[in-house]
Chain A
Amino acid sequence: MTIDWYFILEKLILISGVLALSLIVAMYSTWGERKVAAVIQDRRGPNRAGPLGLLQPLADGGKLFFKEEIIPASAHRFLFILGPSLAMLVACMTSAVIPWGDTLVIAGQEISLQVADINIGILYIFGVVSLGVYGIMLGGWASNNKYSLLASVRAASQIISYELAMGLSLIALLMLTGSLSLKDIVEQQRHGLWNVVYQPLGFLIFLVCAFAECNRTPFDLPEAENELNGGYHLEYSSMKLGFYLFAEYINMFISSALMASLYFGGYSFPGMDSLGLPHNVVTILGFLALFLKILVFLFLFMWVRWTIPRFRYDQLMRLGWNVMIPLALVNMLITGAIVLFRQG
């Protein structure tokens, strides 16, 4: 068997590109979060470091690196370090199956702007995202602090509860598309209507569950600082804390990308195939369209955070089990019935 070095090089470049992109977006999400918070509260937000405060994330990151690294004496050293590493690793891994664009043709070679077009893309994402809770759980447990542990227990039960509804809402979508590959789903929307038209309720459920999965307000109970002195990362300092916070923003970015791909046509935009532009230009425009959709979702995440107060824990659980899961089931049943009716 010969090794296709060209293929490996292509994928390596793509992987580093996607990784760099998600890191930069996560970095600037912190800036965006502060700016959005500020303008919503009639303030100005960071504007000292660079024009519009654009160098603020660099300053924050630099600060985190220079902070003292503290590992509590009673903490489990190995797991304590493993926790944030796992959170970060898992957050970065999900970006692999998202189609960032159509293909680019360079020197006769067709390059797909997707790291791995596996035919179980959505399953892969679900599998990896479920691993993310281990990062939180391990970190909270290894800290040997009751508040951290409480927070991570909260996180674990919250993520498990909402993953169910999320999966159920996706099953309804998959009945329509008939494919688990994200690339196929996007291509179908390119030639037809966006999936949100067929699955408005499913999208709503997915959106709410995405907020819960990312531990974002109004479901940020694992980080409820006024109840838990900080959350599962209470004992963390320096860049290990940075990893946790960063992983959260990467997760936000990836779930925005996922929602854009699943329900809002991914890299396709209306009138994409009738522009008459060269293939590569259309691909780049498509990537920009996807990016715009992602930014809109990121803004939505932040907008909701600075609007809605946190749920109480029992309310969160009741919403998850008594509302979201039955709703998702009903949505699934109706979709299934319609699919069956149209076939028969």
Chain B
Amino acid sequence: MQALTDRVKPVDRRPLTFVEKLYLPAIWKGMAITFKHIFQKKATVNYPEEKRPFSPVFRGLHILNRDEEGRERCTACGLCAVACPAEAITMEAAERKPGEEHLYREEKYAARYEINMLRCIFCGFCEEACPKDAIYLTETFAPANYQRKGFIYGKEDLLIPDPKEKQTV
């Protein structure tokens, strides 16, 4: 039959020669290969002591940003939720009351802001969509949890600490 591609390799069906029938040379060759591997670099990383560095563009867990005065930047515009292909982001908007100007940057803010880390695919579209520079992806990843509800991160998990409070500490 004519070969259909030029990658056909005929199977070598010649009977074993005497030397091949002894098996021992082949066994010795194999053992030399395994012995060489003893001295090769180990593929394992000693995990807790030693961590593989993330790439500089790694997209991990989200944070909600504050401005220099410690006010939340998020205005609950919902663009991140719209951009999210996994529909992991939910939010509820609220109006800023007089006297809360030191808490929220604009007159509308997110009263509730949740990301379901089990749905999130860490694509970073929310970061790109945000007009207020309020959401960023960091270089950590979500730790393990026993229950699904532990993976729904609320505002208290996502908001970065107030830079002004940090100075007082």
Seen from chain A, the residues whose Cβ lies within 8 Å of a Cβ on chain B are 39-44, 47, 204, 303-304, 306-308
The proximity string for B residues 7-37 relative to A, scoring 1 for CB distances below 8 Å and 0 otherwise, is: 0000000000000000010010011011101
Question: Which chain B positions have C-beta within 8 A of A44?
Answer: 42, 44, 46
Q: Is the interface of B mostly helix, strand, loop or mixed?
A: helix
Given contacts A44-B46, A308-B27, contact A303 B35 (CB under 8 A): yes
Q: What's the Cα separation between A47 and B41 when bound, in Å? A: 16
From B24, B37, B43, contact of A40 by CB (8 A): B37
Residues A40 and B46 in contact, CB atoms below 8 Å apart: no
Question: Which chain A positions have C-beta within 8 A of B41?
Answer: 42
Residues A42 and B43 in contact, CB atoms below 8 Å apart: yes
Chain A, residue nearest B48 (CB): A48
Q: What's the Cα separation between A42 and B33 when bound, in Å? A: 12
Residues B34 and A42 in contact, CB atoms below 8 Å apart: no
What's the A-B contact tally at a CB cutoff of 8 Å? Answer: 36
Chain B, residue nearest A40 (CB): B34
Tell me the smallest distance from the CB of A316 to a CB of chain B, in Å.
Answer: 12
Task: List 23 A-B residue pairs with CB atoms under 8 Å apart, sorted by A's residue number.
Answer: A39-B37, A40-B37, A41-B37, A42-B37, A42-B40, A42-B42, A42-B43, A42-B44, A43-B42, A43-B43, A44-B42, A44-B46, A47-B46, A204-B24, A303-B31, A303-B34, A304-B31, A307-B27, A307-B30, A307-B31, A307-B34, A308-B27, A308-B31
Q: What's the Cα separation between A1 and B109 when bound, in Å? A: 104
Chain B, residue nearest A218 (CB): B27
Question: Which chain A positions have C-beta within 8 A of B34?
Answer: 40, 303, 306-307
Interface residues of B in 44-63 (CB under 8 A from A): 44, 46
Residues A40 and B30 in contact, CB atoms below 8 Å apart: no
Question: Which chain A positions have C-beta within 8 A of B38?
Answer: 39-40
Seen from chain B, the residues whose Cβ lies within 8 Å of a Cβ on chain A are 24, 27, 30-31, 33-35, 37-38, 40-44, 46
Question: Which chain A positions have C-beta within 8 A of B33?
Answer: 307
Q: What's the Cα separation between A44 and B41 when bound, in Å? A: 10
Tell me the smallest distance from the CB of B33 to a CB of chain A, in Å.
Answer: 8
Tell me the smallest distance from the CB of A97 to a CB of chain B, in Å.
Answer: 31
Question: Which chain A positions have C-beta within 8 A of B46?
Answer: 44, 47
Q: What's the Cα separation between A117 and B102 when bound, in Å? A: 94
Tell me the smallest distance from the CB of B21 to a CB of chain A, in Å.
Answer: 9
8 nearest CB pairs, A to B:
A307-B34, A44-B44, A39-B38, A40-B34, A307-B30, A307-B31, A42-B43, A40-B37
Tell me the smallest distance from the CB of B27 to a CB of chain A, in Å.
Answer: 6
Chain A, residue nearest B24 (CB): A204
Question: Which chain B positions have C-beta within 8 A of A47?
Answer: 46
Tell me the smallest distance from the CB of A322 to a CB of chain B, in Å.
Answer: 11
Q: What's the Cα separation between A307 and B27 when bound, in Å? A: 8
Residues B42 and A308 in contact, CB atoms below 8 Å apart: no
Question: Which chain A positions have C-beta within 8 A of B35?
Answer: 40, 303
Q: What's the Cα separation between A69 and B39 when bound, in Å? A: 41
From A39, A43, A204, A308, contact of B30 by CB (8 A): A308
Q: What's the Cα separation between A40 and B85 when bound, in Å? A: 45
Question: Which chain B positions have C-beta within 8 A of A204?
Answer: 24
Question: Which chain A positions have C-beta within 8 A of B40?
Answer: 42
Q: What's the Cα separation between A309 and B88 when bound, in Å? A: 49
Q: What's the Cα separation between A306 and B33 when bound, in Å? A: 11
Tell me the smallest distance from the CB of A206 to a CB of chain B, in Å.
Answer: 15
Question: Which chain A positions have C-beta within 8 A of B37?
Answer: 39-42
Q: What's the Cα separation between A40 and B37 when bound, in Å? A: 5
Q: What's the Cα separation between A39 and B24 when bound, in Å? A: 23
Q: What's the Cα separation between A44 and B50 when bound, in Å? A: 14
Q: A39-B42, A40-B38 known; 7 other A-B pairs, CB under 8 Å?
A: A40-B35, A42-B37, A42-B42, A43-B44, A303-B34, A307-B30, A308-B30
Chain A, residue nearest B40 (CB): A42
Q: What's the Cα separation between A39 and B30 when bound, in Å? A: 15
Question: Which chain A positions have C-beta within 8 A of B44?
Answer: 42-44
Tell me the smallest distance from the CB of A101 to a CB of chain B, in Å.
Answer: 30
Tell me the smallest distance from the CB of B97 to a CB of chain A, in Å.
Answer: 55
Chain B, residue nearest A43 (CB): B44
Question: Which chain B positions have C-beta within 8 A of A39?
Answer: 37-38, 42
Tell me the smallest distance from the CB of B25 to a CB of chain A, in Å.
Answer: 13
Q: What's the Cα separation between A303 and B36 when bound, in Å? A: 11
Highest count of chain B CB atoms <10 Å: which of A39, A41, A307, A308: A307
Tell me the smallest distance from the CB of B29 to a CB of chain A, in Å.
Answer: 10
Question: Which chain A positions have C-beta within 8 A of B27?
Answer: 304, 307-308
Tell me the smallest distance from the CB of B157 to a CB of chain A, in Å.
Answer: 32
Q: What's the Cα separation between A42 and B45 when bound, in Å? A: 11
Q: What's the Cα separation between A62 and B37 when bound, in Å? A: 32
Chain A, residue nearest B31 (CB): A307
